[in-house]
Amino acid sequence: MEHNYITLDEHSKIKRLMVFQKDNNLDGKDNLDTLPSSPAVYAVCGRVNGQPANPRFVGETENLREAVKLHFDKSETGIDEYFKEFMLSIKSKELLYEELPDSSQDDRMLLKKKWESKFNPQCNKELNEIH
C-alpha cells in the first residue's frame, strides 16, 4: 500500500500537532486541552516516517478542542466505524488544522470541501491494519 503523505509549505497557515488522549496511548499522555477552542477546519491523519499521512477525516467546527475530544469518545455516533476504530486505537494521530476565528460555518464548509479534495481522506479496514 502506498501512503498519502501530506506536505505543507513553510507559508501554510495550517498547523500540525500530534494529539494524545490518555486512554489511547501507552504513556498515558493527554494534550487535548492544549488545542485552541476557536473555529477551525481540521484533518486527522496517521503518522508515517515522522510525517502526517493517510488522512482519515476532514471536518469543520466552531470549537476545535471540543470537536477533537469528541472523536476520542467511545459513545460518539454518526461517524465512520473505521475512523472511530482508528481514534480509539493506540496508533499515532496527527492533527492538521487552520484556525478561522472570524469565519462563518459557510466559510468553513467551503474550506473543508477544498481540504477533502486536496487530502482525499479515507479510513478503511486495510489502512487501520497497516498504519
Strand partners, 45: 94
Q: Where are the alpha helices (DSSP H) in 8-94?
A: 64-71, 81-88
Which is it for the CA torsion 54, 9, 110, 92, positive or negative? positive
Q: Is 10 part of any domain?
A: no
- Confirm whether 82 is domain-assigned: yes
3 state SS of 55: strand
Does some domain include residue 6?
A: no
Domain presence at residue 25: yes
Please report, as a single letter, which amino acid is at residue 124.
Answer: N
Residue 50, domain member (yes or no): yes
Handedness of CA 96, 22, 32, 78 (dihedral sign): positive
Question: pTM of the prediction?
Answer: 0.93
- Looking at residue 131, its pLDDT comes to 54
6-60 per-position pLDDT tens digit: 988 888 999 999 999 999 988 999 999 999 999 999 999 999 999 999 999 999 9
Number of folded domains that form the chain? 1
CATH code for position 76: 3.40.1440.10
Contact between 131 and 53 under an 8 Å Cβ cutoff? The reply is yes
Domain of residue 48, residue span: 15-130
Backbone angle region of 89, left / alpha / beta, with phi > 0 → left and psi within -120 to 50 → alpha: beta
Residue 116 has pLDDT above 90, yes or no: yes
- Asked whether residue 4 is domain-assigned, the answer is no
In a domain, 76, yes or no: yes
